[in-house]
Amino acid sequence: MGQIMSILATASEPDAADLPDDISFPLEIRLHGRGGQGGVTCAKLIAAIYAQLGLNVQTFGDYGAERSGAPVRAFTRVNRVPIKNRNKVYHPDHLLVLDAALLGPQLLDGVAAGAVILINSPEGTTQYATTFADYRFGIIDATGIAREQGIGTSTVVIINTTLVGAYARLLDLPFAVLEKVYTRMGLSDDLAAAEEAYQKVQIRQPVNGMTEVPVGGELAISLPTVKPQTEHAEDIPTQLKTGNWSTQLPGYEDYVAPCNSACPAGNDVVGFIQALKKSGNDAAAEILLRTQALPSVCGRVCPAPCMSECNRRQMDGAINIRSLERWISDHAAFHPQAQEADQPYALAVVGGGPAGLSAAYQLALRGHQVTIFEKEEKLGGVLRYGIPVYRLPEDALQRDLERILSLGIELQNNHPVDTLEMERLNEKFDAVIVSKGFSDAYTLAAAGESLSGIEQGLSFLARSREGEAKVKLSGDLVVIGGGNTAIDCARTALRSGASSVKLVYRRSRAEMPAIAEEIEDAIREGVQLLPLRQPVAFRGVGQVAGIVLAEVELGKADADGRRRPLVTERTTELACSRVLLALGQENELDLLPETWQVRDAQAWSGDEPLNIWFAGDCATADGTVTHAIGNGRRAAMAALASLNGTKPAAAQLQQAALVAPAQIRFSHFPILAPHQDRHKPLEEVRKSFEEVNLGLSGTAEAERCFSCGRCTQCDTCLVYCPDGVISRCDDGYRIDEEYCKGCGICVAECPRRAMDLNDKASGKE
């Protein structure tokens, strides 16, 4: 073990420099085994190792419908240049024998002196010393090791991965190259057996170069002398092109990863994760920041629909995309620069929440002059005056805001826009984006609602964000509602000193619209859920002292799929000294003069379309930051397209081209549990406003991403092509169409659906 560890510790990324000096090309390898031993996979594994070292490879089996146990052969060819020879291997430079019982007539046919031979046998080298005196040969008990390590079944032991360990040692290849290939091919579990074979293989040099004289011994078998090649083998036939019978050709294509299609902000998730993996934080930020104005925010508070759709969910857990986004935002130094616009326009944005900020960012990036009119003193909307700091700390929000404002955006703060001013903005600016968020919060209209101690949750949260000192609570508090505002109120109330916090919701927990993780955190911190209860009256004299709660039963599903709450006559009374209402907000477009209307998120005056566009919660009522960001960007693009007399670019995502879980070859990937976020201990966070979730400790999670629908240049197609018609080129791979049979093995084996077979007639090659 010690020897292997030192090899591993010093190994850098394997490349062609790791090849032995005496290896010459083309290199031809022949394997002899029995059906069921995994000989063909063994040949593919060897090909994958050479491919990993930067060489062209070809590998295929020579068998038909043999039964298990029948002799089979497999071949691997390796070269520095693309391989054109498609014949079987008649003059192997390396010979691997998976079953010593096959040693017999014909086995050494075409094997010249000096060749490398590896035999799977429990015997020592001395047993074969005389017979193989002219060869560099190795002996390994691969069957024994594989059986010991439990590879295969008790009756059929699979020895291929073990034997390749011995082969690597015989050639003095670093073990690190096996680690890379096995991991990539989902064979990490077999690495221990390969490592044991790497250590234990007994090697003999040809007699001429030997210092050690082989100890003789009786050979268990009698081998023939090397025979001349058959005429057919001597005279390699001319290469035959595929001809006209092949009807299909494989091709490399990008398909849409479900994470990309599910992100409402329009982020290129697979793009930023792969960039993070290959090139680090800045390269990833460059991609992320094309669509995402607020990555520090979304990396913390997004409900992450991308993760719900991630293909890896079906295997061992979704990629922790949200936290990778947070990592990039928190660690990258990259800052996007504003381009110069050919025709710069002046645009106004009303409302500096996520939708307005996203619109302003996209416009400023493209070189336009943007002015944000914000009624509050500071930018951020709900991000600043709603979401508590223990979920979204001030510095994280500030980081995103500074990046946006650094593009040269003008801010008019403390500047509420009214109907009259809307008319003025329409005159003065080339276009206006209105992103004013939701309007007033709903009330219950229940008896006693005006009692002291009953407050809108949003105003409580806004006061809390202004500084902990402003809100000091005591006594029993009840929050009414089931959305994010309700959960934030409940957790903030606990931190502000309430002795108990109960959350009353009229439906069941499963139907609460709040982010599921937030509900779990609230319960963990001590918030008590009271589902299926409807407040019908408040009790108290001057000050609230209790709530009358009616029991609720659930009826049939509403249009939104949630079951309708049916309030019963059965009531109970709950004592409390304070109530926070979190019942949602109105969604109205109230800034326009009476003669203007809104159609498809655009303002019209009579039949004349105005260049005024609505975005975010006020337009869609979607109610998440990521939706507001996507919507703000699309409104900005619509405004620009209207000014340029063009149409906004059509949505690039085609549902039909989505990569489904069934199209991912899970078997090519090792099982790896997701890397979870780190959290502050519960006892520390319950009473504190410090950030609870500390995110990831590194970027290893990016390694788990399958890269659905996008080629990673993993070489699998190149290794699996039985005819060696795939070779590397500057921008990926080239398929030699004149020789491709269109068998589709490469397409079927691509682990991530980055290839497809197309009809030749379609011309979509």
Ligand X SMILES: Cc1cc2nc3c(=O)[nH]c(=O)nc-3n(C[C@H](O)[C@H](O)[C@H](O)COP(=O)(O)OP(=O)(O)OC[C@H]3O[C@@H](n4cnc5c(N)ncnc54)[C@H](O)[C@@H]3O)c2cc1C
Q: Where on the chain is the footprint of ligand X (CB under 6 A)?
A: 301-303, 350-356, 373-376, 381-382, 386-387, 416-417, 435-438, 458, 461, 484-485, 488, 515, 591, 616-617, 623-626, 628
Check: CB of residue 707 under 8 Å from CB of residue 752.
yes
Residue 125: count of CB within 10 angstroms of its CB: 20
The minimum distance between CB 664 and ligand SF4, in angstroms, equals 7
Residue 245: count of CB within 10 angstroms of its CB: 7
Nearer to ligand X, 38 or 381 (CB): 381
Cα–Cα distance, 38 to 193 (Å, whole number): 15
Nearer to ligand SF4, 132 or 182 (CB): 182
Check: CB of residue 410 under 8 Å from CB of residue 371.
yes
Check: CB of residue 693 under 8 Å from CB of residue 502.
no
The minimum distance between CB 650 and ligand SF4, in angstroms, equals 20
What residue 141 binds from ligand SF4, ligand X, none (CB within 5 to 8 A, per partner kind)?
A: none
Nearer to ligand SF4, 503 or 515 (CB): 515
Cα–Cα distance, 124 to 100 (Å, whole number): 12
Each residue 76-115 as x (binds ligand SF4 by CB under 6 A) or -, in order, gives: ----------------------------------------
Cα–Cα distance, 106 to 111 (Å, whole number): 10
42: contact with ligand SF4 by CB under 6 A: no
The minimum distance between CB 471 and ligand X, in angstroms, equals 14
Q: Nearest to ligand X by Cβ — which residue?
A: 353
268: contact with ligand SF4 by CB under 6 A: no
Options 197, 714, 721, 740; binder of ligand SF4; rule CB under 6 A: 714
- Which residue, among 104, 170, 114, has the nearest Cα to 142 in the 3D structure? 170
Cα–Cα distance, 637 to 252 (Å, whole number): 31
Nearer to ligand SF4, 531 or 722 (CB): 722
What residue 707 binds from ligand SF4, ligand X, none (CB within 5 to 8 A, per partner kind)?
A: ligand SF4
Q: Using CB under 6 A, which of the segments 171-179, 189-197, 297-305, 646-654 binds ligand SF4?
A: 297-305
The minimum distance between CB 460 and ligand SF4, in angstroms, equals 27
306: contact with ligand SF4 by CB under 6 A: yes
685 sits in the region (left: phi over 0; alpha: psi -120 to 50; else beta) called: alpha
Residue 421: count of CB within 10 angstroms of its CB: 16
Which SS3 state, helix, strand or coil, does residue 370 take? Answer: strand
What residue 256 binds from ligand X, ligand SF4, none (CB within 5 to 8 A, per partner kind)?
A: none
DSSP assignment of 473-529 equals --SEEEEE-SSHHHHHHHHHHHHTT-SEEEEE-SS-GGG--S-HHHHHHHHHHTPEE
What residue 257 binds from ligand SF4, ligand X, none (CB within 5 to 8 A, per partner kind)?
A: ligand SF4
Nearer to ligand SF4, 118 or 324 (CB): 324
What residue 197 binds from ligand SF4, ligand X, none (CB within 5 to 8 A, per partner kind)?
A: none
DSSP state of 701: G
302: contact with ligand SF4 by CB under 6 A: yes
Helix axes 394-405, 354-365, angle to 10 degrees: 30
Beta bridge partners of 739: none
Element (H, E) at 690: none
HEC string of 112-168 equals CCCCEEEEECCCCHHHHCCCCCCCEEEEECHHHHHHHCCCECCCCECCHHHHHHHHH
321: contact with ligand SF4 by CB under 6 A: yes
257: contact with ligand SF4 by CB under 6 A: yes
Options 312, 366, 495, 578; binder of ligand SF4; rule CB under 6 A: 312
Q: How far out from the chain centre does Cα 670 lie?
A: 15
The minimum distance between CB 557 and ligand SF4, in angstroms, equals 26
The minimum distance between CB 383 and ligand SF4, in angstroms, equals 13
750: contact with ligand SF4 by CB under 6 A: yes
752: contact with ligand SF4 by CB under 6 A: yes
707: contact with ligand SF4 by CB under 6 A: yes
Options 75, 135, 167, 252; binder of ligand SF4; rule CB under 6 A: 252
Count of all residues that appear for the chain in the document? 765
Check: CB of residue 693 under 8 Å from CB of residue 300.
yes
Nearer to ligand X, 71 or 351 (CB): 351
What residue 159 binds from ligand SF4, ligand X, none (CB within 5 to 8 A, per partner kind)?
A: none
Q: Which residues, 6 or more positions from 515, have their beta carbon under 8 angstroms from its beta carbon? A: 301, 303, 484, 487
Nearer to ligand SF4, 397 or 591 (CB): 397
Nearer to ligand X, 287 or 302 (CB): 302
Cα–Cα distance, 675 to 320 (Å, whole number): 7
What residue 38 binds from ligand X, ligand SF4, none (CB within 5 to 8 A, per partner kind)?
A: none
What residue 269 binds from ligand X, ligand SF4, none (CB within 5 to 8 A, per partner kind)?
A: ligand SF4
Q: How far out from the chain centre does Cα 651 lie?
A: 21
Residues in the interface with ligand SF4 (CB under 6 A) total 38
What residue 691 binds from ligand X, ligand SF4, none (CB within 5 to 8 A, per partner kind)?
A: none
DSSP state of 349: E
Cα–Cα distance, 461 to 480 (Å, whole number): 14
Nearer to ligand SF4, 283 or 501 (CB): 283
Torsion of CA 2, 7, 9, 13, to 10 degrees: -160
Q: Which two tokens stand for residue 544?
A: 């609230």
325: contact with ligand SF4 by CB under 6 A: yes
Burial of 715 (0-12, 13-18, 19+ CB in 10 A): buried
> Does 26 sit behind a cis peptide bond, omega within 30 degrees of 0 on the bond before it?
yes
Q: Which two tokens stand for residue 510?
A: 């499963």
Options 183, 199, 246, 712; binder of ligand SF4; rule CB under 6 A: 712
- Which residue, among 436, 489, 439, has the nearest Cα to 464 in the 3D structure? 489
What residue 263 binds from ligand SF4, ligand X, none (CB within 5 to 8 A, per partner kind)?
A: ligand SF4
The minimum distance between CB 571 and ligand SF4, in angstroms, equals 41
Q: Using CB under 6 A, which of the segments 51-59, 336-344, 472-480, 747-755 binds ligand SF4?
A: 747-755
Q: Which two tokens stand for residue 280?
A: 């680090």
The minimum distance between CB 514 and ligand X, in angstroms, equals 8
Handedness of CA 587, 592, 596, 598 (dihedral sign): negative
Q: Which two tokens stand for residue 498?
A: 């309430």
The minimum distance between CB 550 and ligand SF4, in angstroms, equals 37
What residue 312 binds from ligand SF4, ligand X, none (CB within 5 to 8 A, per partner kind)?
A: ligand SF4
Cα–Cα distance, 55 to 365 (Å, whole number): 43
Nearer to ligand SF4, 138 or 295 (CB): 295
- Which residue, among 166, 185, 144, 179, has the nearest Cα to 41 in the 3D structure? 185
The minimum distance between CB 684 and ligand X, in angstroms, equals 21
Residue 132 corresponds to which amino acid? F
Check: CB of residue 471 under 8 Å from CB of residue 651.
no
Residues 613-652 that bind ligand SF4 (CB under 6 A): 626
Options 111, 146, 181, 269; binder of ligand SF4; rule CB under 6 A: 269
The minimum distance between CB 583 and ligand X, in angstroms, equals 12
286: contact with ligand SF4 by CB under 6 A: no
Give the footprint of ligand SF4 on this chain (CB under 6 A).
252, 257-259, 263, 265, 267, 269-270, 273, 298, 302, 304-306, 310-312, 319, 321-322, 325, 626, 705-708, 711-717, 750, 752, 754-755
